[in-house]
Amino acid sequence: MPMVADGRILGWILLLLAGVAWAGPVQAGAVKCGEKPIRLAFYEYGFLYDKGVGIDQDVVDELIRRSGCRFDTQVMTRARIWADLATGDLDMSVSGIRTPERERFAWFADYLIMKNYALVHGEVTAGVQSAREFLRQTQLQIGVVRSFKHGVEQDQWLESLRQAGRVQETPDVETVFKKLKSHRVDAMFSQPPVFRKYLRDLHLADQVEVQDWTPEEKGVPHGLILAKSRFDALDAEQWQALLVAMRREGVLKKIFLRYLPEDEANRLLDF
């Protein structure tokens, strides 16, 4: 009899240990999921998200695993995403930049930082190695995505070019890259997870030079966007805690390295 009892106790202990081993990495209960699935939208943007593949998809997959929450995901335009977050028709989105206006209806939980680099067409790089040199050559044109924010210093510089009629605005990023490839514009701004994809897909790597025109700027934090219509301040802190754990454990870097060289992956983590 004692041997049978000992065997049962050992079995219970093993089951408990197995449960702990399973629950630990998932961090079940770390966030409040709610009864309804979390409505999350992705937007197509380079290696951040491209037809179900990318950094944002991998980050969300890991958050699903760690939180245990149910998600209902879809792909939308960025303009529609911000509108639906503001009205409460969407609960969450990815890699968003905080602004005072957006903070009225959303919380932000950062997981990467990005800055825009100048991509300069090879035919003009001999005389262009800085924003100042580009500005001096009044015949040169730069391409941008309409309504896109590049950072304080770059947006101020672009405004001066707009006044001179030297900015070509385009509705989407791929079209700007195609204009650069055909030399309809002489330069553009882009971030590593975006330009790495298009330099590869459009065979542009040997036609452009990547330059840092704002070396003193660190970049802009991008984060998970949580609608205040669904999440409160404590909820936002708990989602941020999951992302902090992913960074501390090296999971974020592992995700970034799937798409970017190590030096660029490290810069995304410098926030």
**pLDDT tens digit sequence for 14-44:** 434 443 333 344 444 479 999 999 999 999 9
Q: How high is the pLDDT of residue 29?
A: 47
* Global confidence as pTM: 0.82
How far from the centroid of its chain's Cα atoms is residue 241's Cα? 18
Rg (CA), the chain: 23
Domains by residue range for the chain, with CATH: 30-114+220-268 (3.40.190.10), 117-211 (3.40.190.10)
Q: For the chain, 271 residues long, give each residue's pLDDT as a single digit of tens.
A: 344 444 444 443 443 444 333 334 444 447 999 999 999 999 999 999 999 999 999 999 999 999 999 999 999 998 899 999 999 999 999 999 998 999 999 999 999 999 999 999 999 999 999 999 999 999 999 999 987 878 778 888 999 999 999 999 998 899 999 999 999 999 999 999 999 999 999 999 999 999 999 888 888 899 999 999 999 999 999 999 999 999 999 999 999 999 999 999 999 999 8
Closest CA to 63 of 98, 96, 111: 111
- Residue 42, token pair as written in the block: 């992705």
- Can you say whether the dihedral through the CA atoms of 27, 28, 32, 34 is positive or negative? positive
pLDDT at position 4 is: 40
d(CA 237, CA 245): 12
The pLDDT score that the predictor gives to residue 216 is 86
CA-nearest of 159, 194, 199 to 180 is 199
Residue 35: how many other CB atoms lie within 10 Å: 5
Q: What is the pLDDT of residue 14?
A: 42
Per-residue pLDDT tens over the stretch 134-156: 999 999 999 999 878 787 788 88
d(CA 183, CA 178): 8
